[in-house]
Amino acid sequence: MRPPPPAVLGLLLLLLSLPAPEAAKKPTPCALCQSLVDKFNQGMVDTAKKNFGGGNTAWEEKSLSKYEFSEIRLMEILEGLCDSSDFECNRMLEEQESHLEDWWLQLKQQFPDLFEWFCVSTLKLCCSPGTYGPNCLACPGGTQRPCSGNGHCSGDGSRQGDGSCKCHMGYHGALCTDCLDGYFSALRNDSHSVCTVCHEACKTCTGPTSRDCTECEVGWAREQDDCIDVDECAEDTQLCGENQYCKNVPSSYLCEDCDSTCVGCTDKGPDKCIECVPGYAKDESGQCSDIDECSQPEKPCARENENCYNTPGSFVCVCPDGYEETDDACVLTVGAEMDEKKPTPPLPHEDL
């Protein structure tokens, strides 16, 4: 057998060196347990008073009491927990079905919270909310308000994580009680810390207005006890292109295109032109308006019999129908000329 050509061999080596496609991420054991409990609780809702409502109230109350805690109802709930294609769910259900049966038949009244009994205490796959890690330690800030309510505790509710706080926007610190630059402390006591965003003029501040800035943001400048927007357009008239105007915006500026009738402008619109493009001229209001070349005393169309039509910023010269163009004039075509020479038929006499 001959060895494969070098090009084919190189391709095979390349394919072998590529990493295998990443398998679908499996849920964590805690997430899987939580999902199973959620489906079980939903199954309890779906089977509540099932097959009842026929009108015989006394019989229904007696029968319902038996059905509520029956194995028949349990089997109906268990059958709907996992899709046939969900391998992980079915595996956990097969391994832990006896625990669910024990809880349903013997422990439900004593431990009404299935998640706490099944996932936290029995299987030890999860932690109660506000705790984390293998030993379900309390998150920083306590189990009631982890991270002071201003962040997420790493591993919260699971047997994973290190308990560190990932703070929400505007907060930082081990307990998420301190304010980042651009935020100020609107409330702080032993149990709560609230950080609120500063005015846009402030880099740092002590309150909500531009007068509360301790340092102005870029694009703003201190004027007495206030941070005022810098008008970059007024400070530098060469910021924008030749046929653009500068528009000041808070902390910055924008370069906007002039009106199409302008050659240079100071603002938006045909009335803000410095000069007008050819074919336009400033009217009494100072706006660049189209010049009607065809209505001027000196006709722009030089050839004899030629018609002038005004267009925005210009005009066109066109021979009338029945005429053809030459260098010097619009000449009547032969057919049209003969029609013109035909005598006009007399008008029919009206009957008296």
One pLDDT digit (tens) per residue for the chain, 352 residues: 445 555 555 555 555 555 544 445 788 899 999 999 999 999 999 988 665 544 444 444 555 557 888 899 999 999 989 999 999 999 999 999 999 999 999 999 999 999 999 999 999 999 999 999 999 999 999 999 999 999 999 999 999 999 999 999 999 999 999 999 999 999 999 889 999 999 999 999 999 999 999 999 999 999 999 999 999 999 888 899 999 999 999 999 999 999 999 999 999 999 999 999 999 999 999 999 999 999 988 889 988 989 999 999 999 999 999 899 888 899 988 765 555 555 656 655 555 4
Q: Is 30 exposed, middle or buried (0-12, 13-18, 19+ CB in 10 A)?
A: buried
SS3 of residue 275 by DSSP: strand
Q: Is 285 exposed, middle or buried (0-12, 13-18, 19+ CB in 10 A)?
A: exposed
pTM (2 decimals)? 0.62
| Closest-CA residue to 267 (of 257, 281, 276, 275) | 257
User: What span, in angstroms and rounded, lies between the C-alpha atoms of 303 and 286?
Assistant: 35
SS3 of residue 237 by DSSP: coil
Q: Are the CB atoms for 167 and 147 separated by under 8 Å?
A: yes
CA 293 to mean position of chain CA atoms: 51
Q: φ and ψ at 76, to 5 degrees? A: -65, -40
Tally of CB atoms within 10 A around 253: 20
Residue with tokens 């530098």, as numbered in its chain: 236
pLDDT of residue 20: 46
